[in-house]
Amino acid sequence: MIRIELPVSEKDVRKLKVGDEISLHGTIVTARDAAHKLMVEEWPKFVEPLLKNGAIYHCGPVMKKTGKSWKAVAAGPTTSIREEPYEAAVMDHYKVRFIIGKGGMGPKTLKACKDVGAVYLHAIGGAAPLLADTVVRTKAVHLLDELGVPEAFWEFEVDGFKGIVTMDSHGKSLHSALLRKSKKKRDAIIGI
């Protein structure tokens, strides 16, 4: 298990390889479909300090409000590939080092990992309370009224958020490797 403190330098991220198990410590920011669309359309300034050398988490959490503070009740990853059209531009613009989600992403994002110096971290899909319990504090929420709970930008301070690097800055992707392998299998099983 490799321990990473956020924000993190480009140099440190470039050392990571596909297959590395990571534990994250510091601030991660949730952003999913509506947030990504908004970022590439308006390039909001408020996210700049949040994402510089930081992490985007593809997650629409279940949150509970007690008094003035919000607590993450369940916060597992959502499917990342939906952000494929936007992510490369977002990574480049804001200099994001970690994209966290599930299911992996496509060639544009893989190229951005290489160009920008970033990795894709695969969290365990569905492991919502487990991952929520690594959120020690909800630091802030942005555009909650406009986007709703699942789509808002949640700033989470995490301690020991776990995941596996499945795309690295050296052009390697576990997802495309498995796709090739399983395609051969599929063709053999189907008989085409």
Residues catalogued as catalytic: 36
**Could you tell me the smallest distance in angstroms from the CB atom of residue 177 to ligand SF4?**
22
Site for ligand SF4 in 117-146 (CB under 6 A): 125-126
81 makes contact, choosing from ligand SF4, other proteins, none, with CB < 5 to 8 Å by partner type, with other proteins
CA 166 – CA 145 distance, rounded (Å):
34
Binding track over 72-111 against ligand SF4, x by CB under 6 A: ----x-x---------------------------------
Here the contacts of 60-68 (C-beta below 8 Å, separation 24 or greater) are 60/30, 60/32, 60/149, 60/150, 60/151, 61/30, 61/128, 61/132, 61/149, 61/150, 61/154, 62/128, 62/132, 62/149, 63/138, 63/149, 63/154
Binding-site partner at residue 143 among other proteins, ligand SF4, none, CB < 5 to 8 Å by type: none
Which of other proteins, ligand SF4, none has residue 12 at its interface (CB below 5 to 8 Å by kind)?
none
Measured from the CB atom, the residue of 76 and 117 that comes closer to ligand SF4 is 76
Locate tokens 């951005």: which residue?
112
